[in-house]
Copies of this chain bind each other. A is one copy, B any other.
Amino acid sequence: MKMIHIILYFLALLSYTSHATTSSVNDFCVANLLLPNTPSGYPCKPPLLVTENDFVFSKLVPGIPIPPFNAGTTPATVTDLPGLNGLGISVERVDIGINGTVPMHIHPDATELLIMVEGQMTAGFITPTKLIVKTLNPGDVMVFPIGLMHFQLNSGVGKTYAFAAYSSTNPTLHIVDILLFGNKLPTPTLEKTTLLDSAQIKKLKAQFGGSG
């Protein structure tokens, strides 16, 4: 190839890539976690500062099961994996010890897709008119539609674990017991709005750090 061609090719490259270069931020928008979040996600890191580590999370280790539920989770969401920003997906590893449970909870902004890897879980979700419960084994995948109350419990003889993929870059975990019993909402208000007995409420407030 002659020198003149090399130069022309070089110009061609510049021409074809320059548009992409100035807008490369649009091929991805890696979260700049130092800036405030927005409803669509974090502002983008300058493309020059983006590295492969923004797209890989290396610690999706077993969640340490902790009492009283004997279950633990390890999340890989946008704050752990900034390359997820704006892309509407994330994952966590869910480990449940023997006899353990992921208690009744809700993800207000995400559908959950549970991918069984080891052991056995019984899982379910509830709507006012449907109760969906299944026993799950490795090779099973179960979907928990966005915003629905659900649970998983270890129904096997050993430990069990699964991956939970979410349709959100930063799903939150709303455990019903923590919502009801982990704050200062007065016991009489809880009695009226849940019909639970006062003694029951106080017992669980003691467990979950609530007062009032």
Contacts and interface: CB of A to CB of B under 8 A. Distances in A.
Number of copies of this kind of chain in the complex: 6
Contacts of A64: 15
Interface in A192-212: 192-197, 200, 203-204, 206-209
Nearest to A196: B200
A196 B192 contact: no
Q: Which of A27, A47, A115, A151 has the most CB of B within 10 A?
A: A27
B88 A88 contact: yes
B75 A19 contact: yes
A77 B23 contact: yes
A183 B75 CA distance: 32
A8 B67 contact: yes
B163 A109 contact: no
A81 to B, nearest CB: 6
A6 to B, nearest CB: 9
A194 to B, nearest CB: 5
A160 to B, nearest CB: 14
Contact of A208 (B1, B9, B88, B207): B9
Given A38-B44, A165-B91, A172-B26, A20 B129 contact: yes
B9 A165 contact: no
A23 B52 CA distance: 23
Closest 10 CB pairs of A and B: A108-B147, A39-B86, A40-B40, A165-B165, A20-B128, A36-B43, A151-B193, A39-B41, A87-B111, A131-B183
15 contacts: A15-B64, A20-B129, A22-B79, A28-B127, A59-B139, A88-B167, A89-B89, A91-B113, A103-B193, A108-B146, A127-B172, A128-B173, A131-B183, A146-B147, A167-B167
Given A15-B72, A126-B179, 5 more contacts: A16-B178, A21-B129, A60-B139, A91-B115, A127-B174
